Amino acid sequence: MSSLNCDDCGACAGCGGFVPVENEELKQGSQIIVDVLLEQGVDTVFGYLGGVVLPLFDKIYDSPLNFIIPRHEQGGCHMADAYARATGKTGVMIATSGPGATNLVTGIATAMMDSVPLVAITGQVRTELIGNDAFQEVDITGVTRPITKHNVIVKDVKHLASALREAFYIASTGRPGPVLVDIPVDVAVATTKWTPPTEVKLPGYRVRTKGHKKQIEMAADAINNSKKPVFYVGGGVVISGASEQLRKVAQKANVAVTTTLMALGTYDQSRPESLDMLGMHGAAYANFAVQECDLLVAIGSRFEDRVTGNLKTFCPNAKIIHIDIDPASISKNVSVDIPVVGDAKYILSQMLDLVEFRERKEWFNYIAKLKKNYPLCYNKSDKYIKPQEVIEELYKQTKGEAIICTGVGQHQMWAAQFYKYSKPRHFISSGGLGTMGFGLPSAVGAQVACPGATVIDIDGDSSFNMTLTELSTAVMYDLPVKVIVLNNGYMGMVRQWQELFYNKRYSQSSLKNPNFAKVAASMGATGISLSEPSKLSEAIEKLLKEAGPCVLEVKIEPEENVWPMVAAGKSLHEMDGLDIFESMA
Amino acid sequence: MKHVISALVQNKPGVLAHVAGMFAARAFNIDSLVVGRTDDPDLSRMTIVVIGDNRVVEQVRKQLAKIVSVVKVQDFVGQDIVARALMLITINTPAEKRPEVLALIDMFDSKVVDIGQKFVMVEICGPDSKIEAFIDACKPYGIKSVARSGTIAMARNKRN
Ligand SMILES: Cc1ncc(C[n+]2csc(CCOP(=O)(O)OP(=O)(O)O)c2C)c(N)n1
Ligand SMILES: [Mg+2]
C-alpha cells in the first residue's frame, strides 16, 4: 500500500498524517460516500467546498454525479430541498465543517418543517480534535438536533456506509425529513472493506403505512353518513403521491376539497367541488365551508395555526377524521374523533371501495353560492399594476403548466391565490418555516430536477434580495429559470401588519432596492423592468420567450394588501377584507 | 398530574441530549429523568416523570417514540407499578435532638450512612411520597443538603 504524506497535498485539509491509497479490498471513506450515493440512486448533488471535505471532492471529481455548486450553502440546501419537492427523490447537500455547516441551518429547518427528504453531509474536523475548539469546528449534530429528523456523527469508517444508508432510509420513509451525517476528515480518508447494502434495521424506527382496517371502515362510514363533509388536504398527500386516489375518493363520495398551501395542486382547482386553499389568506368560501361542515377529513395535514385560526372555535360542529402517517401529528392541536395512522395513498385506496355516492344537493348549492358570492378578487387600477393581475396573466400565458416557486410574503399568497394548480409538485414554497429567500434557489433546484419544465420564481423584492446571488448559479449551469419580482418597495406582508395593527407606522419595513434588471444583466442573465400597466402581457411574453435565465421586475401598487385575512386569534370565518364584495356588488 | 414514562433507548452518544432537547423544545414539564444501563449493553432505560394532563403525556409519549434512537416507550398510566427513588439527606442533629432523629430514621425504614458531632447523613429509598414525607419530617431539625436520584419504575408482572 502506498502512502501520501499530508504535507504533499498542499490544500491543508487537516486530514492528519497519512492518506492511505485504497486497493481493491479496501475503500477510502470518501469513496464509500460517493459509492453509497450512487447505490442509493442519487444522480445530482449540491455542495460547496472546504478543507475537510477535500478528500470527498477528490472522489467526486472521478464520479458520474451531476454536481451543482451554489453561491452560498443556504442556497444549495434550498436547491437540494426543491429538487426533492419537484421529484419526490431525496435531495443531497454537502458542506464543509464550521461555517459551511452552520450555513445549512436555515435550509435544513425549512426542509424539516415541510417534511422534505434531504440528506445533508457535513465534513468535520479530525476526530481527535473534536471538543477542542479546533479551526472551523462546530458541533453541528448538536446545532441541528431539533431541526433534523435524525442526525449522526460517524466516528469509525466501518460504520460509514451503514450510517449513510440509514440516513437515506430515514429521510425518505414515513414522514420524510432532513437527516444530517457529520463525517470527520480522518474517517473520510481511513479505509475499510466495502460492504454491500443489506436491509436497514433500526430498532427504534417503525413506519406504519397500512391504516387500521376498523378505523378505515369507521372513517368511510362517517363520510357516507355526513351531510356536509369537507376534505382538508395537506402536504402529506403530495409526499404520498396520493392525488389520484384523492380525486377518486372525493368524486365517488361527492365531497368538497380544500387544500393547504403545501397541498396546492393535489386537487384540480378547476373542479366545482374544489374549495381551493383555506387558512389565514385562504379563499373565503373554503373558510366558510370548513366552519359549516359536519365532518372534516384531514388528510396529510396537521392543523397548523395559520390554517385553523382560533382553535377553540375551529370547525365547531364537525366530527374530525385525521389520516396521517405521523402518529404524533394526531390529536396534537385538535382532538380527533377517528384517527387513522398510515400512508394516505394506501388508506385512500382502501376507502375507495367503502365510500358511497351521496348527492348532498343542499350542501353543494350552498358551496356554489359561497363561491359565487366570495370569489378571490381585487380592485383594478389604471395607475398601478396589480400583483394579482400579474399572476393571472402569467397563469394565462403558461396555461397553468409552470412550476411555481416563491419567496415569503404577500407575493407568495398571491401566487397561491391567483395561479390555479392542477398537478402536485408544481407549487414549491416554504410553508412551515416561511423562509424568505427560498424562491430563487428553489427555482434553480426545481429546474435542475426538471430541465424541460418552465420554472418560475414569483418573488418579493425583499425576499429576492436575500438570495439573488444564486442567479449566477443559474447562469453558470444554463438553467433557464424565470423570476418575477413583484416589487412593492416594501417588506409587504410586514407592512400590511403594520398598517392594520400598528397604526400605519412603517418601522424599518422598506429597503433601498438595487436595479434588479441591471443586477440580472451583470450576472449574465436577462433583466426586464416594467411599471407601465398596459405593457404587462407583452413583458410576460418576453420573459417566457427568453431562452436563458431572466428576471422581470414588476413595479406594483406599493400598498396593496392580501385579502381575505383571518387576523391572529380570530376564528376562521371572521375574515377581514370581505367588504370588497360589497364594493363590487 | 405526574406520570411515569419509561423509554428503552439505544446506548449511543447524543441520545440523552436528543431526549432532553425535545422536552425543552416542546415545552414539556419534567419532574425527573433518570438514565441507566440495562442488562443489554446496547440499551439504556430512561425513566421520566412528566407533569401534565393526559393530552400532554400522550404527546410526550408520541414525540419520544418518534426519536429514531428511542426503541420503545411505555406509559405506566393505569398500571400497577413499583416506583422507587433514592435520596441522601444530611440533617442537623444537635446532641439533644439525636435520639429523636434516630427514631425518625427508624420509623421511615431508612439508614444512617455517615454521622458527625452535629449531623447525620441518611440514605432513604422508596416511592416519591415517602421521600417527600421524610423531608417534611426532617425540616424542623434543619436540612443541610439533599441529593435525590429521581424515580425509576417498572410494571408489576401479572401473576399466574
Ligand atoms: C428569513 C426571514 N426573515 C424575516 C421574515 C419575516 N417576514 C415575513 S414576510 C416579510 C416581508 C417580505 O417582503 P417581500 O419579500 O418584499 O414580499 P412582499 O410581502 O412584499 O410580497 C418578512 C420580513 C421571514 N419570513 N423570513
Ligand atoms: Mg415586497
Measured from the Cα of A493, ligand 1's closest atom is: 19
Pocket test for ligand 1, best of A105, A108, A113, A408 (most atoms within 8 A of CB): A408
Residues B146 and B91: beta-carbon distance below 8 Å: no
For range A261-281, the mean pLDDT: 97
Section A225-253 average pLDDT: 98
Gap between the Cα atoms of B97 and B118, Å rounded: 10
| Residue A12: predicted pLDDT | 47
CA gap A396, A390 in Å, rounded: 10
% of residues, chain B, pLDDT over 90: 89
Distance A282 CA to ligand 1 centre (A): 18
Q: According to CATH, what is the number of the domain B2-75?
A: 3.30.70.260
The reported pTM is 0.95
What per-residue confidence (pLDDT) applies to B160? 61
What's the Cα-to-Cα distance from A330 to each of A64, B62, B78, rounded to whole Å?
43, 9, 22
Share of residues in chain A with pLDDT > 90 (%): 94
**A146, A328, A331: residue with CB nearest B66:** A328
Average pLDDT over residues B122-151: 97
What gap in Å lies between CA A55 and CA A21, rounded to an integer? 11
From chain A, the residues in CB contact with B67 under 8 A are 204
Residue A5 reports pLDDT greater than 50: no
Q: How far apart are CA A47 and CA A204, in angstroms?
A: 30
Q: Say if A150 is an interface residue toward chain B (CB within 8 Å).
A: yes
The answer to whether the Cβ–Cβ distance between A328 and B68 falls below 8 Å is no
> Could you tell me the CA-to-CA distances from A176 to A56, A116, A300 in Å, in that order?
26, 6, 12
pLDDT-based confidence at A549, cuts 50/70/90? very high
* Phi, psi dihedrals of residue B37, rounded to the nearest 5°: -70, 160
- Give residue A309 CA to ligand 2 midpoint distance, Å: 25
Contact A82, A442 (CB under 8 A): yes
CATH hierarchy code of domain B81-155: 3.30.70.1150
The continuous run of DSSP H or E covering A339 comes out as: strand A338-341
Looking at the predicted structure, is the pLDDT value of residue A499 above 80? yes
Asked whether the predicted pLDDT for residue A21 surpasses 60, the reply is no
In the DSSP assignment, the letter for residue A400 is T
Sign, CA torsion A300/A304/A308/A314: positive
Residue A584: its pLDDT value, please? 59
ipTM above 0.85, yes or no: yes
CA atoms of A147 and A123, how far apart (whole Å)? 18
Residue B86 contacts residue B148 (beta carbons within 8 Å)? yes
Predicted confidence at residue A394, as pLDDT, reads 98
Residue A434: which region, alpha, beta or left (left: phi > 0; alpha: psi -120 to 50)?
Answer: left
What is the reported pLDDT for A25?
79
Q: Give the pLDDT of residue A9.
A: 45
Name which residue sits closest to atom 3 of ligand 1, judged by CA. A436
Domains of chain A: 6-193 (3.40.50.970), 213-373 (3.40.50.1220), 387-562 (3.40.50.970)
Distance (Å, rounded) from C-alpha B141 to C-alpha A216?
63
Cell numbers 439508614 correspond to B111
Asked if A146 reaches chain B (Cβ–Cβ under 8 Å), the answer is yes
pLDDT for A13 beyond 90: no
At A18 the pLDDT is 44
Q: What is the DSSP string of A490-541?
A: S-HHHHHHHHHHSTT--TT-------HHHHHHHTTSEEEEE--GGGHHHHHH
Output the CA angle B55-B57-B60, nearest 5 degrees.
115
pLDDT band per the 50, 70, 90 thresholds, residue A10: very low
pLDDT number for residue A583: 65
Whether the CB-CB separation of A149 and A90 falls below 8 Å is answered with no
Q: Does pLDDT of A23 surpass 70?
A: no
Amino acid A22: pLDDT: 54
Mean confidence (pLDDT) of chain A: 95
Question: Which pLDDT value is given to residue A579?
Answer: 82
The residue contributing the CA closest to ligand 1 atom 23 is A491
Tell which wins on pLDDT, A263 or A9. A263
| 3-state class (DSSP) for residue A111 | helix
**Atom number, ligand 1, closest to the C-alpha of residue A496:** 19
pLDDT digits (tens, 9 = 90+) for B62-117: 999 999 999 999 988 888 999 999 999 999 999 999 999 999 999 999 999 999 99
Dump pLDDT digits (tens) for B10-48.
Answer: 999 889 999 999 999 999 999 999 999 999 999 999 999
Give the pairing of strands A295-299 and A403-406: unpaired
Tens-digit pLDDT profile for residues A90-141: 999 999 999 999 999 999 999 999 999 999 999 999 999 999 999 999 999 9
Residues A34-60, mean pLDDT to the nearest whole number:
98
Q: Are A480 and A457 in contact (CB under 8 A)?
A: no
Outline which parts of chain B fall under CATH 3.30.70.1150.
81-155
The neighbouring-strand residues paired with A153 are: A182
Give the integer Cα–Cα distance in Å for A104 and A96: 10
**Nearest by CB to B69, which of A146, A204, A335?**
A204
Helices (H) and strands (E) in chain B, counts: 4, 9
Helical (H) or strand (E) element with B70: strand B70-75
Over residues A493-522, the mean pLDDT reads 97
CB neighbour burial string for A144-183, b if at least 16 within 10 angstroms, e if fewer: bbebbbbbbbbbebeebbbbbbbbbbbbbbbbbbbbbbbb
The whole-number pLDDT of residue A2 equals 40
Pocket test for ligand 1, best of A468, A494, A512 (most atoms within 8 A of CB): A494
Instruction: Locate CATH 3.30.70.260 in chain B.
Output: 2-75
